[in-house]
């Protein structure tokens, strides 16, 4: 996270007060409620949170791939390399997608077209963004290169998705995303569908690719271990809000103050070096996104919640790069109210 006053690095991605709703005839689902974060060129940010926190919705919004009829971006802006994604025309969007920004999808079993060969599916984005005027042979050469990169023998490019295992399909999904060497890669739970041994391989591969190509990465996951391995910045998401944002150091340092939800997340991971009888899961469930609580969204589950937590939306308190959205932070030394955040029109 770069603070507003000094910007040492160029920003790849800047999300400002993004608000996304799913609108149906019966109800409005408040999926993402005014989140802001930014990502420097070559940086990595981990978006952490439990299922239904709005992580995937955020990712889809970044590419404007939300379901057309129901998914609505109500507020905010997304700046990619300084230009607004939301204000882009369809044509500009098509140029961005695939080449500047690419996404690794969550479910490799459904994300590939069953009737096209994987070679065709990988070469498609190269073909669509062929500004260098590659010949068909050169495009095939690039496909082979990408396949080698993700560890699939290029000879298999004439095969169809059903001929691959889950782990191999995830590699194909990654190959599709990497084919045009995008500037920004969004990895939406790239390892959730895989078993543990393959998970490590796939993560290592994503890291290697990022390091080699200098790609900026948004890593979406519910697994703090993955974040610790890959990300230099972390954003913790709860009920469509970012409750805590900071560098990996800020977040993983247990000495620091944290949002109660972040503490809860850490409490539910087993540690090898400590003797703990039982893990402490966070009690309760995420609030219904069609009817969010009046005060802090986490207050119904929060062990530290006070009277004001139930009534007023918390402000964001900042110390350096570390931001926490919690009432209890107002009394903690070194953390000051973020002014910019105050202007954000809170929903409700």
Binding site for other proteins (CB under 8 A): 60, 63, 65, 67, 69, 90, 93-99, 102-103, 105, 107, 110-116, 121, 124-125, 128-129, 159-160, 162-163, 173, 176-177
**CB nearer other proteins, residue 144 or residue 159:** 159
**CB nearer other proteins, residue 51 or residue 163:** 163
Reading across the β-sheet that carries 316-319, which strands appear in turn? Answer: 101-104, 184-188, 216-221, 44-48, 233-238, 241-247, 322-325, 316-319, 336-337
CA dihedral 153, 155, 161, 166 (to 10 degrees): -20
CB of 290: closest distance to other proteins in angstroms?
A: 21
Q: Among 174, 214, 213, 218, which Cα is nearest to 14's?
A: 218
- Helix (H), strand (E) at residue 138: helix 136-149
CB of 77: closest distance to other proteins in angstroms?
A: 20
CB of 260: closest distance to other proteins in angstroms?
A: 35
CB of 100: closest distance to other proteins in angstroms?
A: 9
**CB nearer other proteins, residue 122 or residue 318:** 122
CB of 101: closest distance to other proteins in angstroms?
A: 9
| Strand 28-40 with 184-188, pairing | unpaired
CB of 35: closest distance to other proteins in angstroms?
A: 21
Sign of CA dihedral 325, 331, 334, 339: positive
**CB nearer other proteins, residue 94 or residue 303:** 94
CA distances from 253 to 242, 256, 275 (A): 18, 6, 19
**Hey, what are 325's tokens?**
């959205």
**CB nearer other proteins, residue 121 or residue 216:** 121
Q: Is 246 strand, coil or helix? A: strand
**CB nearer other proteins, residue 174 or residue 239:** 174
């Amino acid at each position: 996270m770069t603070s507003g006053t000094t910007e040492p690095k160029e920003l790849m991605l800047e999300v400002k007060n993004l608000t996304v709703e799913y609108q149906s005839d019966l109800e409005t689902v408040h999926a993402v409620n005014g989140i802001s974060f930014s990502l420097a060129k070559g940086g990595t940010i981990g978006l952490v949170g439990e299922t239904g926190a709005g992580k995937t919705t955020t990712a889809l919004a970044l590419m404007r791939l939300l379901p057309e009829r129901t998914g609505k971006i109500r507020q905010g802006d997304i700046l990619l390399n300084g230009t607004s994604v939301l204000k882009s025309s369809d044509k500009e969007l098509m140029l961005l997608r695939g080449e500047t920004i690419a996404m690794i999808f969550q479910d490799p079993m459904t994300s590939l077209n069953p009737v096209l060969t994987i070679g065709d599916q990988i070469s498609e984005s190269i073909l669509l963004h062929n500004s260098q005027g590659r010949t068909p042979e050169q495009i095939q050469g690039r496909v082979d290169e990408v396949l080698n990169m993700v560890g699939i023998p290029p000879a298999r490019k004439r095969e169809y998705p059903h001929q691959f295992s889950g782990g191999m399909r995830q590699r194909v999904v990654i190959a599709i995303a990497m084919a045009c060497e995008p500037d920004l890669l969004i990895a939406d739970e790239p390892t959730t569908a895989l078993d543990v041994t393959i998970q490590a391989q796939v993560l290592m591969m994503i890291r290697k690719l990022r390091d080699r190509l200098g790609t900026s990465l948004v890593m979406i996951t519910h697994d703090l271990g993955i974040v610790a391995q890959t990300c230099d910045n972390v954003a913790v998401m709860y009920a469509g809000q970012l409750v805590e944002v900071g560098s990996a150091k800020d977040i993983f340092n247990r000495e620091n103050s944290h949002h109660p939800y972040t503490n809860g997340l850490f409490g539910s991971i087993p540690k090898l070096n400590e003797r703990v009888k039982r893990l402490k899961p966070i009690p309760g469930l995420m609030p219904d996104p069609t009817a969010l609580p009046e005060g802090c969204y986490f207050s119904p589950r929060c062990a530290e919640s006070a009277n004001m937590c139930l009534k007023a939306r918390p402000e964001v308190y900042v110390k350096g790069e570390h931001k926490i959205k919690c009432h209890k932070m107002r009394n903690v030394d070194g953390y000051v109210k973020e002014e910019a955040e105050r202007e954000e029109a809170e929903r409700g």
